[in-house]
Amino acid sequence: MTNPILVDRLDHIVLTVNDIERTMHFYEQTLGMKRESFVGSEGQPRHALRFGDQKINLHDSTTETPTKAHEPTSGFADFCLIAAVSLKQVIANLKATQVPIEAGPVSRQGAMGALRSVYFRDPDRNLIEVAEYVDG
């Protein structure tokens, strides 16, 4: 017997970073994400990067919240984002912002089929994959 799927999609992820401002600037410049600041449920200022219907929340060593990773560590993440534009445009922007590409374009398998991907690192050395689905 197979258990029913109880979740639909990701809403957000949380990155632990060394410098929230530097991280927000990087993601704004390289991927066009929009910064968002808000007051958390604990009354503390919080920061996030919004793209589409998702966001990346940011914590640093001073972030006070009872709901965070057991051992928050910067540079520990490895995740894939689907491009809203052609991968060619993503690569051009990475070059324009002087972000080195570590791998790619390479073929990968995503949640919904074949991908073409590039890999690079953010200021905390998290591995970021940006991909486009390949037709057919």
DSSP 24-88: HHHHHHHH--EEEEEE-TTS-EEEEEEETTEEEEEE-TT---SSS-SS--TT--EEEEE-SS-HH
Active site residue ranges: 129
Locate the domains of the chain by residue range.
12-133
The SS3 of residue 21 is: helix
pTM: predicted TM-score of the whole model, two decimal places = 0.88
pLDDT of residue 101: 97
CATH of domain 12-133: 3.10.180.10
pLDDT at residue 136, rounded to an integer: 55
User: Are residues 55 and 38 in contact, defined by beta-carbon separation less than 8 angstroms?
Assistant: no
> Residues in the chain with pLDDT < 50?
none
